[in-house]
């Protein structure tokens, strides 16, 4: 009886693990989502950190703030990014600030959200690379800021 019970438990664990692996392999990864939703092809980062995420919802609404760390410089000039000049900085920082304010407002001034933005107070600088695209009257938008000095790319996605 004990051997049968152990065999059933091991079988259930293996079945569950196999199903989990299958589902994960079928779901698109971060890069595939960027490519299909926004037409952006990024090189794979050494590390990806989700700084702020919205759990899955029925309509897929939410806000996401993600950090891509690269060990060496990446070339984004042929992907639609703009290399920022002094005259571009204000517009880029305004878009980032807009994302932060809207996210804090929709999350009702949650301390955790405010802390994340305070700990990651990202500002565009001359020589950084910037990408912005909006759809659905601004209800959906993406901001990408690549910091050339630190080899870090910040992704801000708003979907309402």
Each residue of 46-103: pLDDT tens digit?
999 999 988 765 556 789 999 999 999 998 877 889 999 999 999 999 999 999 999 9
Decide: 116 and 51 in contact? Cβ < 8 Å.
yes
Residue 10, pLDDT score: 62
- Residue 160 to residue 63: CA distance in whole angstroms: 8
- Residue 22 to residue 157: CA distance in whole angstroms: 27
Number of C-beta neighbours around residue 107 at 10 A: 15
Q: What is the pTM of this model?
A: 0.82
Residue 56, pLDDT score: 60
Model confidence band, residue 7 (pLDDT cutoffs 50, 70, 90): low
Say what percent of the chain tops pLDDT 70. Answer: 82
144 pLDDT higher than 80: yes
Sheet of 140-147, strand order: 47-52, 62-69, 152-159, 140-147, 129-135, 82-83
* Residue among 157, 154, 120, 160 nearest 142 (CA): 157
Q: Strand 140-147 relative to strand 152-159: parallel, antiparallel, unpaired? A: antiparallel
Residue 25, pLDDT score: 47
Q: CA–CA distance from 131 to each of 4, 70, 71, 89, 114 (Å)?
A: 58, 18, 21, 12, 24
* Residue among 64, 43, 47 nearest 157 (CA): 64
Average pLDDT, whole number, for the chain?
86
The residues with which 152 forms a beta bridge, in sequence order, are 69, 147
């Amino acid at each position: 009886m004990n051997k049968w019970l152990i065999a059933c438990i091991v079988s259930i664990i293996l079945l569950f693990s196999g199903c989990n692996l299958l589902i994960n392999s079928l779901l698109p990864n971060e890069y595939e989502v960027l490519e299909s939703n926004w037409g952006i092809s990024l090189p794979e980062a050494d590390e990806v950190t989700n700084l702020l995420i919205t759990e899955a919802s029925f309509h897929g609404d939410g806000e996401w703030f993600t950090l891509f760390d690269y060990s060496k410089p990446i070339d984004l000039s042929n992907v639609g990014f703009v290399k920022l000049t002094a005259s571009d900085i204000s517009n880029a920082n305004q878009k980032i600030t807009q994302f932060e304010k809207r996210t804090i407002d929709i999350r009702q001034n949650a301390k955790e959200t405010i802390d994340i933005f305070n700990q990651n107070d990202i500002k565009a600088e001359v020589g950084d690379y910037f990408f912005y695209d909006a759809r659905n009257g601004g209800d959906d938008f993406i901001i990408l800021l690549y910091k050339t000095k630190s080899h870090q790319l910040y992704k801000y996605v708003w979907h309402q």
